[in-house]
Amino acid sequence: MTRLNQGNVLENAARRSIGVCVLAVCIGAAGCGSKKPPAQPVQPAEPVSSTEKPAPKEPALTPTKRRILSLATSEWEFFGSQRVIYNDGIESIPHVGFWEDDDEAHIQRVGRYWQAVDKPGLSGLNCSQPWSAAFVSWVMGTAGVPDSQFPPASAHWVYLSQIIRKSDGPYSAFVPHSIKEYSPRPGDLVCASRERYGLPSVTRPLETYMLEDTKLHCDIVVEHNGGSVDAIGGNVRNSVSRSTVELNKDGLLKPTRQRPWFLVLENRL
């Protein structure tokens, strides 16, 4: 591969060591071989207002949630700890990590995620194939979550539809909530639309036909910071990225053009 010569490796390392700022117009990867963004100054996020509600005391994490968070974090670190920040409708990337096709190790790592959804022929070289659902499925399966509770799928709408259909049961492991009624906690999933026309508000019961064949993106919440949450997801700017997402004064997700959030999937494991 021509991108694996020594010059490119050194150039990538240099770019990862400095901050960059990118205005986003969509969610997902830009594709293999795309040029990494040039260095630009990043404006620091405004401090959380003292009038905003403080972060509630976090309940003790269950062993399953600890495994989910540990796996998501270790994969993020393997990809070079890329950070994405959404603040006042602007997306910035203060640290660029390794991308899906940077080298053989990361190419094959994405291939491991694809294997979790029975698509072993795909890898990080298949940049036109969104792999964020495969990443979430791999994390859940590797953490020991049974397929009956979180069915692995190569598209987010597939596993969401199956989970939502049985979410009213007494032993439901995952429960959907509108972003207007529930504040995400570590271990939950936060989901956004990638469709131009967006999605209707989540109601009870949520009709799963609304999700069929829709383009979605979901991240795993790993930290609640009072005025924001951090969430880790795959195929976010060509990498496994940790995103910081603003909350409003009530602790609820604030949708933006780049991330039109519509659903929080509560994790009760």
Task: Specify burial of residue 60 (Cβ count, 10 A radius: 0-12, 13-18, 19+).
Answer: exposed
What confidence tens digit (pLDDT) does each residue in 22-44 have? 333 333 444 565 666 644 444 44
Whether pLDDT at 10 is above 60: no
Alpha-carbon Rg for the chain in angstroms: 18
Q: What's the pLDDT at 42?
A: 42
What confidence tens digit (pLDDT) does each residue in 54-104 have? 545 566 899 999 999 999 999 999 999 999 998 887 899 999 999 999 999
- Helices 132-142, 63-78: inter-axial angle, 10-degree rounding: 130
Stretch 194-223: mean pLDDT, rounded?
A: 73
Q: How far apart are CA 198 and CA 251, in angstroms?
A: 22
Which residues, at least 6 apart from 114, have a Cβ–Cβ distance to it below 8 Å?
A: 120, 121, 122, 123, 131, 134, 154
Q: How confident is the model at residue 263 (pLDDT cuts 50, 70, 90)?
A: very high
What confidence tens digit (pLDDT) does each residue in 168-206 have? 777 889 999 989 999 999 999 999 988 765 555 555 555
Helix, strand, coil percentages (3-state) for the chain, rounded to 5, are: 25, 20, 55
What confidence tens digit (pLDDT) does each residue in 239-261 have? 999 999 999 999 999 988 888 89
Q: What's the pLDDT at 88?
A: 81
